[in-house]
Amino acid sequence: MSSLVNLLEKKQQNLCSVFFTAGFPNLQDTPKIISELDAHGIDFIEVGLPFSDPLADGTTIQKSSSVALKNGANLDVIFEQLESLKGKVTAPLVLMGYLNQVLKYGEQRFCQRCKDCGIETVILPDLPMIEYESHYRALFASYGISNVFLITPQTSDERILKIDAMTDAFIYVVASSSITGAKGGISPAQIAYFNRIKSMNLSSTLIVGFGISNQVTFETVCDYVNGAIIGSAFINFLEEKGTGQIQEFVHGIIGA
* 76 tagged catalytic: no
Q: Which of 29, 36, 43, 46 is catalytic?
A: 46
DSSP for 76-141 reads HHHHHHHHHTTTT--S-EEEE--HHHHHHH-HHHHHHHHHHHT--EEE-TT--HHHIIIIIHHHHH
Q: Which of 36, 57, 133, 168 is catalytic?
A: 57
Residue 93 φ/ψ, nearest 5 degrees: -105, 135
Q: Is the Cβ–Cβ distance between 60 and 68 less than 8 Å? A: no
From CA 253, how far away is CA 235, in angstroms rounded? Answer: 14
Burial of 6 (0-12, 13-18, 19+ CB in 10 A): exposed
Using DSSP's 3-state secondary structure scheme, residue 211 falls into: coil
* 46 tagged catalytic: yes
From CA 36, how far away is CA 250, in angstroms rounded? Answer: 9
Active site residues: 46, 57
